[in-house]
């Protein structure tokens, strides 16, 4: 368990009577002062996310903090702190302070970590007496976006029922009476991040190390800039870092897990063994092998799954992935006795299915990988360490491991920016688009697969076409993107 907070490190407060009166006034004001909110639900597949200054603002973050605090407090068996972390975006400081103000107004203690990966918040929440955690990040989104992710006391994503309660409070559908308790307190607990770093290394116990390996890390100007190089260096690897400063203007810009070209070139230039690219909050990772070839989440799941399968550590030989998982991956995994369950896109759906089935390994093609042997949520640093260990233990290069695994079906994914939220989320009601999808599915039959969906994290419609050959995939992708642009864009 994480040690209790040293009270003298906190921010000094008013007297007890003044704090009680202030608590009453603050709680009452939250009930009375409602903010204008969009008609559609605020919580998407990964918390509340949007453009700062449009959807996300300090007043909204203040109220989210308050209502999240009320809901977490009401469902807690005993009162503990809320752990708060953030990425490097310019808006993250503002949102962190507003959230902390709301949480303390709800009578809670806040342990503020500052800059850290999202899985750090989840881990520390799970091992302490915290009643929940909050991370401020928009993950792989551009710098002008931000987001608020709320974790339950077990470190997992907050259940949808509790998300709905928070949103009901924000919309004025429920109220809370003023309490007699003092306002909460805010404590800086930067030192707790080291507990997470130790937990990352612990599973790779004994005399194992990464000595002799040269590894390139693309840190995306984001949350892992301080921790990732330290952890890999402590494991004995020679580390080359890219985009390794906290920079809110450049987070995710032409780097990280959505832009692997610079990483691939650097791996080849330095004759490195492999490279890893993280997103802004380091809950996802993609790899590059020693030849510069990109290695996505499907390959990571297959390789890690086979490793666990061989050690008889994978119940029912089950991997949980999403509808985006490549058909080539699915067929190859089944050929070696594996089972694959697909869920909707979003790591919360993968995690829920893993808990339902008892699955121990799951994730997404985009690099969200969850291994319940070692973590309570998707963790980019943990995944990278284990993939590097797998390569060293195997005595062969990552390129050779990939060659021995499977061949992907050609799969094209195009994002069509649709700013209008109602049009984007209501795309299924657009008949011309539905007719185009039906035509494409009929034409490809069993030789292809189509997935169209509104992103839960960005203002885009995602169009994915997978086919037996690249020509078919390209043709039907262009057809569907054209229909979306014609009928859904402003």
So which residues are the catalytic ones?
139
Task: Compute the CA torsion angle 98, 66, 125, 184 (nearest 10 deg).
Answer: 80
Contacts of 23 (CB under 8 A, 6+ apart): 105, 107, 178, 179, 180, 181, 182, 183
How far apart (Å, rounded) are the C-alpha atoms in residues 94 and 82?
18
Backbone angles phi, psi at 208, to 5 degrees: -65, 140
Burial class, 487, CB count within 10 angstroms (exposed 0-12 / middle 13-18 / buried 19+) = middle
In DSSP terms, 216 is beta-bridged to 240, 275
Q: What does pLDDT average to in each consecutive run of 10 residues of the chain (490 residues)?
A: 38 32 41 77 90 94 96 95 98 98 96 98 98 97 97 94 95 70 89 96 86 98 97 97 98 97 98 98 97 97 97 97 92 96 91 95 96 95 97 96 94 92 91 94 85 87 91 93 90
Rounded to whole angstroms, the Cα distance separating 255 from 252 reads 5
Q: What is the pLDDT of residue 29?
A: 46
Alpha carbon 409 to chain centroid distance?
A: 26
Name residue 44's beta-bridge partners.
47
Phi, psi for 463 (deg, rounded to 5): -115, 115
The model carries a pTM of 0.85
* pLDDT value at residue 347: 87
Give 350-355 contacts, CB < 8 A, sequence gap 24+. Answer: 350/320, 350/321, 350/322, 351/156, 351/157, 351/377, 351/378, 353/320, 354/320, 355/156
Q: What is the pLDDT of residue 44?
A: 87
Q: What is the pLDDT of residue 35?
A: 87
């Amino acid at each position: 368990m994480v040690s209790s907070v040293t009270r003298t490190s906190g921010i000094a407060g008013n007297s007890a009577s003044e704090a009680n009166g202030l608590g009453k006034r603050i709680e009452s004001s939250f009930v009375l002062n409602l903010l204008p909110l969009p008609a559609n639900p605020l919580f998407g597949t990964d918390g509340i996310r949007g453009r700062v200054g449009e959807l996300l603002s300090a007043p909204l973050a203040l109220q989210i903090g308050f209502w999240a605090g009320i809901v977490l407090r009401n469902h807690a068996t005993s009162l503990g702190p809320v752990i708060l972390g953030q990425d490097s975006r310019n808006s993250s400081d503002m949102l962190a302070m507003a959230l902390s103000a709301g949480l303390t107004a709800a009578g809670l203690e806040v342990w503020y970590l500052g800059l850290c990966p999202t899985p750090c918040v989840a881990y520390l929440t799970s091992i302490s007496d915290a009643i929940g955690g909050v991370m401020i990040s928009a993950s792989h989104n551009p710098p002008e976006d931000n987001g608020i992710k709320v974790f339950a006391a077990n470190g997992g994503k907050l259940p949808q029922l509790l998300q709905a309660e928070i949103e009901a409070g924000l919309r004025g559908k429920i109220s809370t009476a003023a309490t007699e308790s003092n306002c909460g307190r805010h404590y800086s607990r930067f030192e707790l991040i080291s507990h997470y770093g130790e937990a990352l290394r612990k599973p790779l116990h004994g005399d194992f190390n990464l000595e002799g390996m040269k590894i390139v890390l693309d840190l995306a100007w984001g949350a892992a800039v301080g921790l990732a190089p330290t952890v890999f260096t402590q494991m004995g690897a020679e580390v080359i870092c890219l985009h390794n400063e906290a920079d809110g203007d450049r987070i995710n810009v032409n780097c990280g897990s959505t832009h692997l070209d610079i990483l691939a070139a650097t791996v080849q230039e330095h004759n490195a063994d492999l490279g890893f690219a993280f997103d802004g909050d380091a809950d996802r990772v993609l790899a590059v092998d020693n030849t510069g070839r990109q290695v996505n989440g499907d390959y990571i799941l297959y390789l890690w799954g086979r490793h666990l399968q061989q050690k008889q550590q994978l119940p029912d030989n089950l991997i949980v992935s999403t509808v985006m998982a490549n058909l080539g991956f699915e067929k190859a995994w089944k050929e070696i006795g594996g089972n694959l369950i697909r869920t909707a896109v979003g790591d919360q759906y993968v995690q829920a299915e893993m808990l339902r089935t008892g699955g121990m390994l799951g994730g997404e093609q985009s690099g969200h990988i969850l291994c319940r042997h070692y973590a309570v949520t998707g963790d980019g640093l943990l995944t990278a360490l284990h993939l590097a260990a797998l390569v060293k233990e195997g005595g062969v290069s990552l390129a050779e491991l990939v060659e021995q695994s499977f061949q992907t079906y050609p799969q094209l994914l195009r994002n069509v920016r649709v700013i209008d939220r109602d049009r984007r989320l209501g795309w299924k009601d657009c008949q011309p688009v539905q007719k185009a999808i039906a035509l494409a599915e009929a034409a490809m039959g069993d030789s292809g697969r189509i997935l169209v969906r509104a992103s839960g994290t960005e203002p885009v419609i995602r169009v994915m076409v997978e086919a037996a050959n690249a020509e078919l995939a390209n043709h039907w992708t262009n057809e569907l993107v054209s229909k979306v642009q014609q009928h859904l864009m402003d």
